Structure 1
Amino acid sequence: MRRLLCAIVAAGLVIPVPPAAAKPPEKTAFDVMTPASTVASRTDRRPTAGGIFDPVARKTFISWSGKAADTYVQAYDHRTSVWTAPKKIADGESDPHNYPTMLLAGDGHLLIFRGMHNKRTVISRAPLAHSLDGTWTDAEVPEGAAASYPMPVKTVDGTLFLFYRETTKELDPAADSDFRPMKYLVSRDHGKTWANSVRLTGKRWAFGSLGRADHMDEVYVGQLRYLPSRGRIQFVYTLAGGGPTQHKHDVYHRNVYYLSFDVHTLHFYSAAGHDLGTQVDDAEQERYLKVVETPLELPGGLKSPDYILQVGTQRDGEPFVTWFQFDAAGSPRDFAGAWNGRNWEVREVANGLRLREMEQLNGGTWRVYGTRDGKPNIETFLLGNGRTWRPETLITTPKPVQRVEVIAGFRDPARILATGASSARDVSVADGDIYVAGTPRK
């Protein structure tokens, strides 16, 4: 642990939190529904766009991966408190990376986005507005070739952005397997047609790197968050690659980075406000975007930092991020980094938790959702301005949970979507539950 803390001091002030601040919470304040039992397979979905509340239909719509990573959707009617049966939308081709993400287009139609692991972008469209009913249509988007990890955003004017990571070797066999930058698609007609970032900006990629000495030229975005009042999208990400002796995919992870994106100008910005233009390269990310530097190692045989990271804003509008790394025993160590206007203040806030998702409560106070390996339940904590940490409550689930996502525009009692852990990594096994939790209806 001493080596880990020494390594991250270089990028920010590390302030350990006393162990007492990370004691598990005890009280329960959430009700849990189980829309579907023993149906979920293992999934690689990030905490983005798993479900949405539709105020017109007065329904909450959710999506999840079932057996063979097939995409399913369900709806909760807030008037009757009844869930629909799971409805299969598309085949998952037996790959846990082919998970669904969901949003409601400006014309009222639900859209499901899938990056068919390193191959193609596919969008499924509901035939009826504000409804899951009918036969959905699938459309491949050639502008989003070689895509994985789709992250959709709808802006206040109805413009759709879809960020994804490109596996460049699928398009250029001469490319190294650990060159995988971020790109995006834009639609201004509710998802019917798309233009990609290369066409819009003339740049080869949106953000990423090529030619690092450590070969860490893959980007793993942990989460993005849209800020409507500012017209910005925030990102937090880590790097991956083969390490300095080899070009191999996702052998190591390294460092944590933050940036934001202006949806009007298509420019990227650092936390300090540096305008980085329409493309970010390695020199810029190292100089302006790095939150913390982490060792190039596999503690406990695990990639560290983890794939899942979160991003939010403090009361004064400055950003903060959260993530977890692993110690030599393979146990998670939980960190928060807050931008103070000059640099990143980094604190270890807890240990033993996989930080799954965050929800803004008011001002700079956020609820953080976390789980412990092999154990049921979701623990919640209150994080103030990316600095202060205290236990809040316990959400009781019958079985362990692998993913948590705050439902966009949620209405209680459907606040979060939690995908239960499957008993096997292979997606031919699908025995995890689907949970939806929220505060009790009054």
Structure 2
Amino acid sequence: MADMEKSVLPSGWGQCSLADVAQLQNGFAFKSGDYVEWGHFLIRIGNVQDDGIDLSKPAYVDLADVKAKKFELNEGDILMSLTGNIGRVAVIKKEHLPAALNQRVARISPKHGDSLNREFLIHLLRSPAFFDQLTAAAKGAAQQNISGKDVLAAVISLPPLAEQTRIANKLDELLAQVDTIKARVDAIPDILKRFRQSVLAAAVSGKLTGSDYSKWINSKLGDVVEIDIGHAFKSKEFVSEGVPLLRGQNIEPGALRWLDTKCYPDAKLREFRHLFIEEGDIILAMDRPIVSAGLKLARARATDLPCVLVQRVARFKSFDAITPNYLYLVLQDISFSNYLVPNQTGSDIPHISGKQILGYEIAYPSLTEQKEIVHQATGLLQICSQLELAVEEARSKVEEMTQSILAKAFRGELVTQSTDDEAASVFLKRTGTKKTTTEE
């Protein structure tokens, strides 16, 4: 592997492979048949996240077998993922115990307490330069994999032990501040989500404009609009180039996404011209209409065209007494999602029918008032969208800040060097490390 840093090492630092100062244990290949209702929490790849151990979707094993005992985890153990999102580092805490180490997860620890500080090791494994080496060594296209040997072969720049402690302490201090900033930024989307829903609720109840709600007309959705439901195009006739098919998978809350696009020959679509989507059309997924991010409802943009409607996807049309823009507000209001939930059918894939969609009860004012409601609500929702984009940018900046601090630390720029510190070359030689380059 390439060196962590090509530049000249700071005074007193040395360079070696991770294997010279650390040891690694691979997990055991527990089988799903070994799982029990309660026992040792099995730490699998998905449980190892950069922000700690994910406790969701737990599996448990019984470590009564003596051979499996060596895979029992302890408080403070440092773990790394070796498959998929490689290089994620997490630390076992008391609340995770009892726990066991599964395959494709590695436990890494210092070989010698007088050459490698444990807290320094945690930060080192999370540093950009170390991760770059793992990425370079990874194999597999669809799913990346690294071996324990790949991890141990990484070349590291090692400061004196006393400086390692100073670096680790400084990183703990700075990264705690970054975590505080991150927590504040991460709290904003929920605030914006509540604000967005309050705007929508006010819009469809007349409160946003001070409209007299008692004069609004109440009716079922089917009394004022119609829907088109797409055609069941045969998958054997799909082609790589043609007209994109608008399927439920292409609908996300607020936008159409074309990451997994299926196409149909244009020549075979002559009888389906009525199912071609137009700019501004309101589209609703009928299979699994509600996901964690919200309702799979969107409006078609010019960049989404051409595309054609597929079965189990609804397009609203033939507006009478309400405008498309007002309807879009009505459907985004949480009341519509709350109506859909108990009316869904199917256990594996929840489904909503066209009849159920059109059975939703709505209230609407005059067309003039609808226009004013849409104008005011759109302005507020646009501000909300702008703030959401700013939050994403802030999150990116926070991540850059973390990586910048780590990079600076492992270039020797975070704390001062001291001539009183025992040089890395000394303790590396004492521990028997042969392949070492140092500059003192």
TM-score normalized by structure 1?
Answer: 0.21
Higher helix share: 2
**TM-score, L = length of structure 2:** 0.21
Q: Which has the higher contact order (CA 8 A, sep 6+)?
A: 2
The structure where strand makes up a greater share of residues is 1
